[in-house]
Structure 1
Amino acid sequence: MMASNMSENKLFNLLSDMKHYHKTYAAYCSKTNKWQEWQKWTESAEFESNVVANLSKNFSGNMDQPIRVLGIGSGDGILEMHQLRKLAAKFPKISASVVEPSELITKYKDTVGRNPVADNITFEWYKQTFDEYLACHGSEKKYHFISVVHAVYFLGDPDVFIKKMYKLLEPGGILLVILLTDHTGSGSIPLHQSELKDDKTTNNYVNSSQVKATLEKLQIEYTQSIYKETTDITDFMTNDDSEEGELLLDFLTSTINFRKSAPYDVRARVMRHFQQGSHIEKTDDGDEKISYKHTSDVAILFVTRRDRAK
């Protein structure tokens, strides 16, 4: 359902209108420091030891074959390319498969075409959902590294998609899942499921606790770390008429046309949440900027199997 057709005081999940979602995501990208923080994390000793070093240890005996990498919901590739550069510095050959259903995959391909990530990486592109990819290609092809960065929200039941990803891993392979926590940042924005009227998407919001519960139920070992993002929310905190600010507010609340559609008490509660979770900074030109901090779980999951890695 489109935002312009919605009734007053009904909240519709952002994922029910992908065209609007991509507009809100673009607004978010222009206001977040996610890219800088993600690059720092992939350059950190933590990523080096938990991902690069472990892949090297598990698969160094077969370096004449390419390391196979799968990106699920890769978007425009900005985050994923940092990972691939780190892996390319260690492994002589990498085969990267990109699964992304939206038009953002075209931007990813164009970026790689203009400025290749590394000479030793070859790409395969799949403009499909994860389920469509599995339906077309099955689970015969196994991967050494699977990356799912802020894409689990679109994949449905964690019990189902974690099992599917697990089956795609080579023994000894690593699955990296990055998603919002349920207790801080955007994951804690005080919207109740009962206030979201689109039944198709209401129950699909996935947070870190749900994914970790699935992993524990399936007895899949994982480690977890935290990184923080900051978003400039000045536009919607200080100007009710800012189109860019309204799009950003929609993205952070996962709601279409939030300010106009939310009942007064919900709107007041959410705006109070942003106010309490933010701080004011001075910009270089002397203006004030309101910055909001999110926290994301980085769950690095190590598959432990008895059969030898191939």
Structure 2
Amino acid sequence: MASPLKRLITESDRYTESFKRYKECSVGYQGMQKFMENLVPDLFASIVNGKSQLNVIGVGSGTGDIDLQMFSVLHQKYPHVTVDSEVVEPDSQTLRIYRDLVSETPSLDYIQFHWNEMTLEEFQKQWKEKKINKKVDLIHMFQVLYFAVDLESTISFYQSLLNKNGKLLITLLSCDSGSVRMREAYKNQLCPGETNLSTGNIKNLLDSKGVSYQSYILPSDLDITDIFTEGDENGEMLLDFLTNSYHFGKTASPDLKAGVMEFLRRPDCSVESDGKVNFKNNFELLVLDQLI
């Protein structure tokens, strides 16, 4: 039976606001910041390797938080290096926020941005149709492979764009994330059509093909306390984002809502302490080299 729930991603305004609340309540971005500070400089060392310009593609760049932080780390270490950045993001409002941020930040003049309001597969099709032969030094895909129609061909395509010493970064929820446990338990209701709920499928695919990769866990907790306060707008936004549903609290059946609310508090999903409910929401980053 088809799910009666409307996907959050189809409602741009609600999605943007829900994502904003999610970021405010999440320490996941702190984990990403730590990764940037500790690992990215070494990563860039092998990528830059004497170059004066890097070609970069950000797929699922959102409002630009991760992109710009990564570029900041690069610029601090290699101030002479310029960046040519293709930004791929299907949500018009989210992309507009990113563009406005760039236009308001003169210090980003070492970056040339190209804006692509499209999905990762539309970008792939466009690249092939235009027969673009430019090689890319860094591609980062942040939480965009959930809806990939053909996971193998998608990864192979983007990996094939890499220059020598180039890197493909793929970030998804880790297998032990509470979000993954919940979506797997309510897969038919919450995420019909999603086949890549975590890095698990990707690692299985890469292992079966003998493709080597590096893996890094990015610890993340999410304060979901407000979800359990009836009528709390912040809590309703968070619940929408976690379930990828538009107004989940108002449109889900009573049984589904009760089940999800109970699932969120399970000991393998959350830790309750001092009146707070902290949801385990770890990410995993996979680093792939050039396709040989």
Query: Are the aligned partners of 2:28 and 2:218 in contact in 1 as well (CA < 8 Å)?
Result: no
1:207 matched residue in structure 2: 198
Q: Deviations over 1:217-273 (max 9, x none)?
A: 333211001011222211112x12123212211211233433344455543443233
Shift of 1:293: 2.4
Q: Is the aligned partner of 1:137 residue 2:124? A: no
Deviation of 1:96 after TM superposition, in Å, equals: 1.5
Task: Give TM-score, length-normalised by structure 2.
Answer: 0.84
Worse-matched range after superposition: 114-123 or 164-173: 114-123
How far apart are the structure 1 equivalents of 2:35 and 2:112? 24
In the TM superposition, residue 280 of structure 1 has moved relative to its aligned partner by 4.2
Which residue is 2:187 aligned to? 193
Give 1:16 deviation, angstroms.
5.1
* Equivalent-residue separation in structure 2 for 1:208 and 1:230 (angstroms): 18
Give the structure 1 partner of residue 167 of structure 2: 174
Q: Give the deviation of 1:128 after TM superposition.
A: 2.2
Partner of 2:45: 53
Matches of 1:41 and 1:95 in 2, distance apart? 23
Aligned equivalents of 1:272, 1:144: Cα separation in 2: 45
Q: Return the match for 2:225 from 234, 246, 261.
A: 234
1:43 aligns with 2:37: yes
Contact 2:142 2:171 in 1 (8 A): yes
CA contact (8 A) 1:28 1:251 kept: yes
Deviation at 1:281, TM superposition (A): 5.2
How do 1:255-270 residues align onto structure 2 when only pairs under 5 Å count? 255-270=245-260
Match of 2:153?
160
State the distance in 2 between where 1:38 and 1:118 align: 21
What SS class does the counterpart of residue 68 from structure 1 fall into? strand
Classify 1:240/1:157 alpha carbon distance in 2 versus 1 (closer, same or farther; 3 Å).
Answer: farther
Structure-2 separation of matches of 1:304 and 1:195: 37
Q: Which moved more, 1:268-277 or 1:243-252?
A: 268-277
Contact 1:85 1:117 in 2 (8 A): no
Structure 1 residues 114 and 19: alpha-carbon distance in aligned structure 2, compared to 1, 3 A threshold: closer
In the alignment, residue 172 of structure 1 is paired with which amino acid? N
> Which stretch shows the higher mean deviation, 88-97 or 160-169?
88-97
Say which one has the larger Rg.
1
Structure 2 distance, partners of 1:34, 1:141, is 33
Match of 1:100 among 89, 93, 104: 89
- Tell me by how many angstroms 1:71 deviates: 0.4
Is the 8 Å Cα contact of residues 102 and 108 (structure 2) preserved in structure 1? no
1:28 aligns with 2:17: no
- Change over 3 Å in CA distance of 1:19–1:164 after alignment to 2: farther
Unaligned runs of 5+ in 1: 1-6, 283-287, 306-310
Instruction: Give distance in 2, aligned partners of 1:216 and 1:100.
Output: 29
Give aligned-pair identity as a percent: 27
Other structure's SS at 2:220 match: strand
Aligned residue in 2 for 1:297? 284
Task: Give, in whole Å, the separation in 1 of the partners of 2:133 and 2:185.
Answer: 41
CA distance in 2, matches of 1:34, 1:219: 30
> Structure 2: any 5+ residue segments left out of the alignment?
none
TM-score normalised over the length of structure 1: 0.80
Which one of 91, 112, 115 corresponds to residue 122 of structure 1? 112
RMSD: 2.6
Of 175-184 and 128-137, deviating more is 128-137
